[in-house]
Amino acid sequence: MVIFVEKVNYYLKIFLLGSVIGYIFETVLKILVNPDAKNGILYGPWIPIYGFGCMIIIALMRLIFNRTNFNRITKIILTFVSVAVVITILEYLGGFLIEKLFHKVFWDYTKMYFNIGKYASLEMSLVWGILSLVFIYIIKPVEEKIIKKIPNYVFYMAFFIFILDVIGTSLKLYK
């Protein structure tokens, strides 16, 4: 039971920290590329789809790296392709659900050449694949050190604020 709770705690910390990293990433993108873009749907400094993406990347990475005898290049290629596909599906589902639940569209890829409807495109799949490798080899090692230093009470308070933000935003958007 203790191991299960520790794993849940770990993945929730990955989720929350990944959501904050996603917010920072989107803020930089907004400044550099599209000043009119909105940074996610929540009020706080987090974008949950990035948190889900980080959890999925880590789960896929563990599956590929720990359960296979492939060489490093093959593992990198498998990670790139599998994450690109899975994150693209996540992005599509996220956009679809946001539109259906809240009647809002926060991203639209219909102007991209290789779009898959509004919410996904081959171009963005390639970006997610590349970013997943950056996450695995550069961000994740740093993130692991940060996670170990975050006291549980700080994490629980931040997660509680995050949940309040989700509830408040949902109530406001669902009107």
| pLDDT at position 68 | 67
| pLDDT at position 2 | 75
Global pTM? 0.82
| pLDDT at position 36 | 66
| pLDDT at position 4 | 84
Domain ranges of the chain: 2-162
| pLDDT at position 160 | 95
Low-confidence ranges of the chain (pLDDT < 70): 34-39, 67-68, 173-175
| pLDDT at position 115 | 85
| pLDDT at position 159 | 93
d(CA 27, CA 45): 10
